[in-house]
Amino acid sequence: MSGHSHLEGMNLSSLPLRGIRVVDACIYWAGPMASMLLADMGAEVIKIESIQRIDYLRLLGGWPTPDGYEWSAAFNGTNRNKYGITLNLNNPRGREIFKRLVEISDIVTENFSPRVMENWGLHYEVLKGINPRLIMLSMPGFGTTGPWRNYVTYGPNIEMVSGMPTISGYPDGEPMMTGYIADPIAGLMGAVAVMTALQYRHRTGEGQRIDMSQMEAATTFMGGPIMEYAMNKRLQPRRGNRHPVNAPHGVYRCQGDDQWVTITVSSEEEWTRFCNAIGNPQWTHESRFSDNAGRCENHDDLDILITEWTCQRDKHEVTELLQAAGVAATQVLSYADTLSDAHLEARGFYETITRPVTGTHPYPGFPAKFSETPISIRKPAPTLGLDNEHVLKEILGMTADEIKRLEEEEIIGTIPQGWPYSMDADEAISKLKDIYGKDA
């Protein structure tokens, strides 16, 4: 790579991906998650939006207000450690600047439907001609080939076609979404794919294109149920919180509003420990609970009896009592609980970061700790167009007059076009859908 990271005042010399530059054209969650992980590991990631169509993830925030597009918690949590510039790729001049960045970069990431980069003339064969060592990660919903290639999709749709909801939920209920898990799955796999391609380039000097279907990424996590059907022609049923062979196994209500503990018993020895820990009430001696087969058969009644005990106690008390007895149990933490969790605090997982507009908050850190190359949050998510001047002037060598002309021609900027912050909420939502609701 020609050029170095320019994160001012920050020591990147020890980071694993120091010296790697990424041109990031991703939007929403899956693609930005992949580029965020690369940025965390030290890559210089230049996130590209436009004032005509900002990253739609910004809309999940506190609009309509003058700075509402900066208040999306999802955007702020998925774009740390990145530079942010605006660049209108519908404009030939914008595409020319994009190509100049590609020429001096190592990686391009994008998660549009395949036709978007093709329509812009920025597909792999073109970019490879500019930079033969380029690695390009393309993350469309359904891959770049096949009859669904041009379908536009989002995390919930991906989850549905992966088969996950068919095994998620209660036995007598409907299939359930797991909570947008398809997006971070695809993001993680995208980052791993890029790291693999970097290793290949390190050995051979050759770049390559990565065609990564988000549908296939999510479906990979269905290996067990898929092979169960392929091998044995059995469809895995929905089990709720039950285990296929062990009982008791579930989530039990505790004292307080929406407070829970999870408990699992996987052997007769653990069942004896559990009974002793809760004081051996009379029902624990009933013959129907005397072995695992009986407990499985009478799991509904067992859950009621266990809940009568847990609901009288604090979830932390239940956890400590059962764990001390050698029973697998832990409190169910809310997102708010994790912010003050003593274990995460002891490991230094959360990092306090100050960001323009939104202020100072704790952020989830990088999940792996490297002994020789420690990773941290060095830069908050960029405000819209924050690094236009830095990237265009310091990296591409453009003059102040050239940058000013780009602003005048609305190729770059820092305020989204048509931001309807003066309207009432209903009118603003309608306007935002008109502007941003269609695919690029």
CATH of the domain at 271: 3.30.1540.10
| Residue the block writes with tokens 């196994």 | 249
**Rounded-to-10 torsion of CA 51, 57, 60, 65:** -20
The DSSP 8-state label assigned to residue 227 in this structure reads: H
How many beta carbons lie within 10 A of that of residue 11, not counting itself? 9
Q: What is the pLDDT of residue 180?
A: 83
The confidence band for 426, taking pLDDT boundaries of 50, 70 and 90, is: low
Where on the phi/psi map is residue 387: left (φ > 0), alpha (ψ -120 to 50), or beta? Answer: alpha
pLDDT tens-digit profile of 33-42? Answer: 999 999 999 9
Whether residue 331 sits in one domain with residue 408: no
pLDDT digits (tens, 9 = 90+) for 214-273: 999 999 999 999 999 999 999 999 999 999 999 999 999 999 999 999 999 999 999 999
Same domain for 141 and 49: yes
pLDDT value, residue 179: 76
The structure's pTM equals 0.90
Q: What is the pLDDT of residues 114-137, one digit of tens each?
A: 999 999 999 999 999 999 999 999
Q: Residue 31: which domain range?
A: 21-221+346-436
Q: Can you give the pLDDT at residue 407?
A: 97
334 with 351, same domain: the answer is no
Q: What is the DSSP string of 34-93?
A: HHHHHHHTT-EEEEEE-SSS--GGGGSSS-SSTTGGG--HHHHHH-TTEEEEE--TTSHH
Examine residue 189 and state whether it is found in any structural domain, yes or no.
Answer: yes
- Burial of 267 per CB tally in 10 Å (0-12, 13-18, 19+): exposed
Write the CATH number for 158: 3.40.50.10540
Q: Is residue 93 part of a domain?
A: yes
Amino acid at 179: G
Judge whether 67 counts as a catalytic residue. no
Whether residue 273 lies inside any domain: the answer is yes
Distance CA 78, CA 348 (A): 19
| Phi, psi dihedrals of residue 137, rounded to the nearest 5° | -100, 115
pLDDT of residue 432: 61
More confident of the two residues 232 and 180:
232
The domain boundary residue, chosen from 309, 339, 369: 339
Q: Which of 339, 358, 388 is the last residue of a domain?
A: 339
Q: Does residue 6 form part of some domain?
A: no
User: What is the number of domains present in the chain?
Assistant: 2
Q: Give the model's confidence band at 5: pLDDT under 50 very low, under 70 low, under 90 confident, else very high.
A: very low
Note the pLDDT of residue 65: 80
377 falls within a domain: yes
Q: Reply yes or no on whether the pLDDT at 429 is more than 90.
A: no
Residue 439: band (very low, low, confident or very high) from pLDDT cuts 50, 70, 90: very low
CA 435 vs CA 129, 165, 419: distances in Å? 34, 32, 9
208 & 284 share domain? no
Q: Does 440 score more than 50 pLDDT? A: no
Residues 172 and 35 in one domain: yes
Over residues 266-288, the mean pLDDT reads 97
Listed residues 307, 339, 371: the one ending a domain: 339
Q: How high is the pLDDT of residue 329?
A: 97
Residue 228 belongs to some domain of the structure: no
Determine which helix (DSSP H) or strand (DSSP E) holds 392, and give its type and residue range.
none
Reported residue count of the chain is 440
Please, what is the Cα angle at 340 between 338 and 344, to 5 degrees?
65
Claim to verify: residue 49 and residue 135 sit in the same structural domain: yes
Helix (H, G, I), strand (E, B) or coil at 188: helix
Stronger pLDDT, 283 or 154, i.e. the higher one? 283
Q: What is the mean pLDDT of residues 151-157?
A: 89
> 422 and 397: one domain?
yes
- Residues 326, 382, single domain; the answer is no
Share of the chain above pLDDT 70, in %: 92
Q: What is the mean pLDDT of residues 173-191?
A: 92
Judge if 162 and 54 occupy the same domain. Answer: yes
Confidence of residue 3 (pLDDT cuts 50, 70, 90): very low
DSSP characters for 105-132? -SEEEE-S-HHHHHHTT-SHHHHHHH-T
Same domain flag for 50 and 146: yes
What is the pLDDT, as a whole number, of residue 60? 82
- pLDDT (tens digit per residue) in 307-339: 999 999 999 999 999 999 999 999 999 989 999
Q: What's the average model confidence in pLDDT over 52-79?
A: 88
Is 75 found in the same domain as 212?
yes
Same domain, 284 and 411: no
3 assigned to some structural domain: no
Answer whether residue 11 is part of any domain: no
Question: Which of the following is catalytic: 24, 106, 183, 387?
Answer: 183
